[in-house]
């Protein structure tokens, strides 16, 4: 009679089930534990470091998703603001590797979720260390940087990555954002399981909602980077990433090996050139909606080659 393998398999299944149950319990308890930590931490900071707490609270009130988009990297004396669809996955992968977390270095789209998962990357949000966030935000010795992207290319990348060929029904995060705000933005936009969002329709939706703070992937970049009390030492451009990221590598004293790994070929979700997706009318619509981004970051009105 063969019983060993059956027992082992049953035990393995039981262990996996228990582990899954424990993870679900941990997730359900996390908001309450976070609230308890905040209730303990904030009174202490108010007593010991009132300026740091006041700075953090002011940033949380005015900025768009600061605890999601700001990375505090005390090991490197770096504060990074991740602008979605502007090489943020690549940069977070590089920062994680620089602090010794090689498990997610060498970013690829299949590992994208790990790059943006703080437990996996080791990168910290402001809420994880309010005092360190404050020091890096104001210290003359720290490096504060972000990257931006041409609004035309950023919107195309967002559509290609998040909406192309997806049916317009609940079940996927970005589609649910669209469904929740479609009526207010433009009720004539498509809807239903037999419909998808064309690039032209996505542009209409994104332009109508670009200031609503409903999704970081097409929110105006000029709004994202305006952080009270924080001045960036570097605002790089995705289009010139290889050159613009060098000051970051110089600042941390990166080796030649690290430099080669940090600047791989740029990944894009688009299948054709920019000009294949845009009509003059579509480009004009984007320019009008994102004019602040074009002006603030010095992007030309004409479509890039």
pLDDT in tens, 222-241: 999 999 999 999 999 999 99
User: In this predicted structure, what is the pLDDT of residue 75?
Assistant: 96
**Residues of the chain with pLDDT > 90: what percent?**
69
**Distance (Å, whole) CA 80 – CA 234:** 10
pTM (2 decimals)?
Answer: 0.83
Confidence of residue 112 (pLDDT cuts 50, 70, 90): low
**Distance (Å, whole) CA 24 – CA 186:** 38
Residue 162: closest CA among 106, 218, 213, 111: 218
Domain ranges of the chain: 32-149+221-269
**Does residue 105 register a pLDDT over 60?**
no
**Does residue 109 register a pLDDT over 50?**
no
Mean pLDDT of 156-185: 96
How far CA 302 is from CA of 41, 159, 274, 283, 292, in Å, comes to 50, 20, 11, 8, 15
**Distance (Å, whole) CA 175 – CA 131:** 37
Q: Which SS3 state, helix, strand or coil, does residue 223 take? A: helix
Structure tokens at 6: 């059956």
């Amino acid at each position: 009679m063969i019983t060993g393998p059956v027992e082992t398999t049953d035990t393995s299944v039981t262990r996996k089930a228990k582990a899954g149950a424990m993870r679900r319990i941990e997730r359900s308890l996390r908001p309450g534990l976070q609230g308890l930590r905040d209730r303990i931490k904030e009174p202490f900071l108010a007593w010991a470091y009132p300026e740091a707490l006041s700075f953090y609270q002011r940033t949380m009130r005015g900025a768009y998703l600061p605890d999601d988009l700001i990375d505090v990297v005390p090991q490197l004396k770096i504060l990074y603001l991740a602008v979605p669809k502007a090489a943020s996955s690549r940069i977070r992968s590089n920062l994680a590797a620089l602090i010794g977390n090689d498990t997610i270095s060498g970013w690829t789209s299949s590992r994208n979720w790990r790059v943006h998962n703080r437990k996996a990357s080791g990168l910290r949000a402001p809420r994880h260390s309010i005092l360190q966030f404050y020091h890096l935000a104001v210290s003359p010795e720290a490096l504060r940087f972000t990257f931006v992207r041409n609004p035309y290319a950023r919107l195309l990348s967002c559509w290609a990555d998040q909406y192309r060929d997806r049916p317009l029904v609940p079940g996927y995060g970005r589609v649910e954002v669209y469904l929740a705000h479609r009526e207010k933005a433009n009720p004539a936009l498509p809807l239903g399981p037999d419909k998808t969002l064309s690039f032209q329709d996505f542009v209409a939706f994104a332009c109508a909602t670009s200031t609503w703070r409903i999704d970081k992937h097409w929110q105006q970049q000029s709004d994202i980077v305006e952080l009270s009390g924080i001045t960036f030492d570097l605002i790089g451009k995705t289009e010139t990433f290889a050159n613009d990221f060098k000051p970051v590598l110089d600042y941390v004293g990166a080796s030649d090996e690290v430099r080669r790994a940090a600047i791989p070929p740029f990944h894009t979700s688009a299948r054709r050139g920019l000009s294949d997706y845009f009509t003059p009318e579509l480009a004009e619509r984007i320019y009008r909606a994102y004019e602040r981004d074009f002006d603030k970051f010095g992007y030309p009105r004409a479509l890039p080659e």
